[in-house]
Amino acid sequence: NRQEVQKNTIMNIARFYNTTGVSYREGFISGSDIKKAFVEYLPSFPCHIQPQDASLNEGIPATFGKSWILFCPVLDFKQGDKVVVNTIEYKVAGCETFTMGSSPHCEVVLRAWKE
């Protein structure tokens, strides 16, 4: 059956998830209208992380660092969230969700937390 063959040959991106991550989102501290802290938001999710480019690139004006791309299931990420993968902290710079096709996923652009 042709459809069966096509279905089996389509690569599912989840096969490449080889680690787990945790995300944190900034929220108000209980009892305060101005103080914020990062609290765990997505406890443990499967993912794959790799450098977006082999070279350094400019982040905030006058800072240079590497950008990383994180592939994971479709999850809720916002710019400014903190993601920890293998004890390394990153800041979410952007996220794109792909829901078309047989392999829905997010591609999250990360920067090292402290550059």
pLDDT at position 58: 59
Letter for the amino acid at 93? A
Mean pLDDT by 10 residues, the chain (115 residues): 48 90 90 83 96 66 76 96 95 93 91 70
pLDDT at position 61: 55
How do strand 64-65 and strand 19-28 relate by DSSP bridges?
A: unpaired
What DSSP designation does 16 have?
A: G
Three-state secondary structure readout of 59-94: CCCCCEECEEEEEECCCCCCCCCEEEECCEEEEEEE
pTM above 0.85, yes or no: no
Q: Which residue has the tokens 């096969």?
A: 15
